[in-house]
Amino acid sequence: MKHGANYLGNRRCSFTLWAPLAEKVELHLISPEERLMAMEKKEHGYFSVETDNISPGTQYFYRLNGEKDRPDPASHFQPEGLHKASQVIDHTTYQWKDNTWQGIELKDMIIYELHVGTFTPEGTFQALISRLDDLVDLGINAIEIMPISQFPGNRNWGYDGVHPYSVQNSYGTPDDLRQLVDECHARGIAVILDMVYNHLGPEGNYVTEMGPYFIDKYHTPWGAALNFDEYYCDPVRDFFAESAVFFLDNYHIDGLRLDAIHAVFDMGAVHFWQYVTEKIEQLSLLKGKRFFTIAESDLNDTKVIKPREIGGWGFDSQWMDDFHHSLHALLTKEKTGYYSDFGRLEHLAKAIQKGYVYNGDYSEYRKRKYGNDSSSHSGEDFVVCIQNHDQVGNRMLGDRITSLLSVEALKLAAATMLLSPYIPMLFMGEEYAEDAPFTYFVSHTDSWLVEAVRNGRKAEFSAFAWLGEAPDPQAEETFQSSKLQWHKRTEGKQQLIYRWYKQLIALRKERTALHHPDKNNVQVSIAAQHILVLQRWHESDDLLCLLNFADTPTEFRLEGNDSIWQQILDSTDTKFGGTGSDLPYVLQSNTRLQLSPYSVTVYERRSSES
């Protein structure tokens, strides 16, 4: 059964609601003219009706037991907000222009995570289009959009959505989203959409009146878990899995990032995530186009990215927190919360070479052994970053890594990510060292809920020794202060950082040694305690990267054979704001070098005849 209102053309529409707790359900049409129609009760708790005289734009509620009018949980659009009427949408009228679009391979992606509401002053899909050429200029070929399902009010990260088939009304209409995707594809940019299937937001969550969407058997950070393995679970599984297919199909989305998959509990024979990835694979076969799935996982468990055929969940890739934590703790020296498990150069070297740092080792933070071995997995199985919405926004003040590191250390962090064998992901504004915070913001209408959010945020910060007072998440000012300041990318240090990112991205795209994801062609070693020596090669392309994580000049001897290396990139170059390179343009092994503090130098191998 297709959930929600499905427009059939010729002014006919079918409406389907799963509500096994209801004795009677009526379709309450409220515009353009009011009508009340009985819905037929089907097996397994579904109610449905098919009727004529319905045009796109018709607004409706479901009336439960002759008493309560409720919006459609599978609403495709809420034009007046979360609590108001749902709207019938015709998904067939938009004239797509991306017929020749073939997509971007995961291994080739340079991902850019963004939040629609704070990416531009207007905070809309249409305004976002105006910035796509800037992303192309930078070298971005994939954007990851934070959740856009309808949430309360006009300000939210998106993880409080309760309509997983809808488009946030303050961002624009369904066709506005389609135009955004179309314009991305026209510029060679893939679109990844962040989806939330581990909980529903607390405000406007009316599904508890309709059916057992939740169970008390398991508990999540947001309360009772969604029902994916108990009585009546099949319609719940379908409700969410079909929304994934819905967005990929109707909006030409290229891939999905699935939020906190570890917070989904399912003891059934076919895990919910296996069910979702199988549905998406079926769509891929039907459309002749590969759709990608990227998991956010706190498990350090390779079952997430293993094929379903051997018992895995079938995700194409996953975020790797260990890389971020290793690099962040090493450069910032922070040792509170989960950073207490990190901070040594050996952690970062292991992350680059093998993947998970904790692959069965004892975690002091977790007080248990944690993770399994990921060393056999390709680089494209992991997405890495130096900051993302969580790692910035879940800090007390929403302070970016920009405010924590020097310009040279920022350049070192960026290079570590973009020279790694993994899929790099930038967080919006990172490319020019944006210094505006990205704080947590909401616009709930329930005063009790607002206070609960405030107190909850304070509790989350208890594991970290951060000073200051958290901004009020409900305040308009908190939201406004998080908007990007685009003009800064052409000024001072921001301009130099932007130039550095652009050069790194171009290098990664040009050199097969860098964008080829085979970790067998990666060698990592530590020299002189603070220097990471990273060698990457593929066929005839061989690169040597020297990264100094010391805050002082550091001497070391380049060991090895009689290879000749020629410099192709140096972070101390004056065009990137440095004082000028002291390293030789051409060097040979067994040469003693002095590396500048927090510096990165990349060499390419030259044959002895050249």
The overall average pLDDT reported for the chain is: 95
pLDDT at 2: 82
> Has 446 been annotated as catalytic?
no
- The answer to which of 278-292, 416-430, 580-594 has the lowest mean pLDDT is 580-594
Do the Cβ atoms of 416 and 586 come closer than 8 Å?
no
- Residue type at 499 in one-letter notation: R
pLDDT, mean of residues 311-319: 98
State pLDDT tens for residues 170-228.
999 999 999 999 999 999 999 999 999 999 999 999 999 999 999 999 999 888 999 99
Q: Is residue 192 domain-shared with residue 328, that is, in the same domain? A: yes
- The pLDDT of residue 568 is 97
User: Cβ(292)–Cβ(283) under 8 Å?
Assistant: no
Last residue of a domain, one of 480, 506, 532: 506
Query: Which of 452, 477, 506 is at the close of a domain?
Result: 506
Q: Residue 67 sits in a domain of what CATH number?
A: 2.60.40.10
Task: Say if CB 381 and CB 317 are below 8 A apart.
Answer: yes
Q: Residue 452: its pLDDT value, please?
A: 80
Q: Which residues form the domain of 541?
A: 522-606
Which is more confident, 235 or 561?
Answer: 235
Residues 467 and 534 occupy one common structural domain = no
For residues 314 and 354, state if they share a domain.
yes
> What would the DSSP string read from start to end of 541-581?
EEEEEEEE--SS-EEEEE-SSS-EEEEEEETTSGGGT-S--
Pairing of strands 35-38, 25-31: antiparallel
Cα(3)–Cα(501) distance, rounded to whole angstroms? 44
Residue 271 has pLDDT above 80, yes or no: yes
Write out the two tokens for 341.
């498990």
Strand 40-41 relative to strand 59-64, pairing: unpaired
E-only strand ranges, 343-387: 361-363, 368-370, 382-384
pLDDT of 558 strictly over 90: no
Whether residues 257 and 325 fall in one domain: yes
Work out the percent of the chain whose per-residue pLDDT is above 70. 98
Cα separation, 516 vs 107, in Å, equals 7
- In a domain, residue 581? The reply is yes
pTM for this entry: 0.96
Q: Are 449 and 457 in contact (CB under 8 A)?
A: no
Pair (502, 529) in one structural domain: no
Give pLDDT, residue 307. Answer: 97
In a domain, 300, yes or no: yes
Is 226 part of any domain? no
pLDDT over 90 at 560, yes or no: no
Tell me the C-alpha distance between 260 and 262, whole Å: 5
The active-site residue, picked from 144, 160, 230, 296, is 296
Find the mean pLDDT for residues 308-327. 98
Is 26 a member of any domain?
A: yes
Mean pLDDT of 115-139: 98
Active site residue 341: no
Per-residue confidence (pLDDT) for residue 582, from 0 to 100: 86
What is the structure's pLDDT at 464?
66
Contact between 571 and 599 (Cβ < 8 Å): yes
Higher local confidence (pLDDT), 579 or 114 = 114
Average pLDDT over residues 99-113: 96
Distance CA 439, CA 452 (A): 17
| Same domain as 579, residue 452 | no
- pLDDT for the residue 449: 84
User: Is residue 382 domain-shared with residue 264, that is, in the same domain?
Assistant: yes
- Domain presence at residue 453: yes
- 76 shares its domain with 139: no
Task: Tell which of 506, 541, 572 closes a domain.
Answer: 506
Q: Which residues of 351-386 are buried (b: 16+ CB within 10 A; e: fewer)?
A: bbbbbbbbbeeebebeeeebbeebeebbbbbbbbbb
Query: Which DSSP letter does residue 526 get?
Result: E
**Number of domains the chain contains:** 3
537: CATH: 2.60.40.1180
Catalytic pick among 203, 229, 259, 301: 259
Q: Which residues touch 510 (CB under 8 Å, ≥6 apart)?
A: none
* Claim to verify: residue 500 and residue 526 sit in the same structural domain: no
Which tens digits make up the pLDDT trace of 47-79? 999 999 999 999 999 999 999 999 999 999 999
Q: Helix, strand, or coil here: 242?
A: helix
Position 550 scores a pLDDT of 97
pLDDT score for 466 = 64
Q: Do both 558 and 501 map to the same domain? A: no
Q: What percent of the chain has pLDDT over 90?
A: 89
C-alpha span between 607 and 538 (Å, rounded): 15
Same domain, 252 and 289: yes
∠ CA 215-217-220, rounded to 5° = 80
Q: How confident is the model at residue 503 (pLDDT cuts 50, 70, 90)?
A: very high
Are the beta carbons of 354 and 374 closer than 8 angstroms? Answer: yes
394 lies in some domain: yes
User: Do 531 and 499 belong together in one domain?
Assistant: no
Task: Tell me the β-bridge partners of 531.
Answer: 527, 548
Predicted local distance difference test score (pLDDT) of residue 567: 96
Q: Which residues define the annotated binding site for substrate? A: 257-262, 321-325, 389-394
Q: What is the pLDDT of residues 463-473, one digit of tens each?
A: 666 667 788 99
Within 251-359, residue ranges assigned H as helices are 272-287, 321-332, 345-354
Question: Which pLDDT score is estimated for 608?
Answer: 59
Q: How confident is the model at residue 441 (pLDDT cuts 50, 70, 90)?
A: very high
d(CA 205, CA 220) in angstroms, rounded, equals: 16
Residue 340's CB is within 10 A of a number of other CB atoms, namely 15
pLDDT score for 333 = 96
| Residue 609 clears pLDDT 60, i.e. is over it | no
How far is 567 from 572, CA to CA, in rounded Å?
12
Nearest residue to 522 (alpha-carbon basis) of 511, 531, 513: 513
In a domain, 100, yes or no: no
Give the pLDDT score at 517.
94
Q: How far apart are CA 513 and CA 107, in angstroms?
A: 12
Read off the pLDDT of each residue in 383-411 and give the average, rounded to a whole number: 95
Q: Residue 208: inside a domain, yes or no?
A: no
Q: Select the more confidently predicted residue: 469 or 367.
A: 367
- Written as six digits, the tokens of 118 are 């704070």
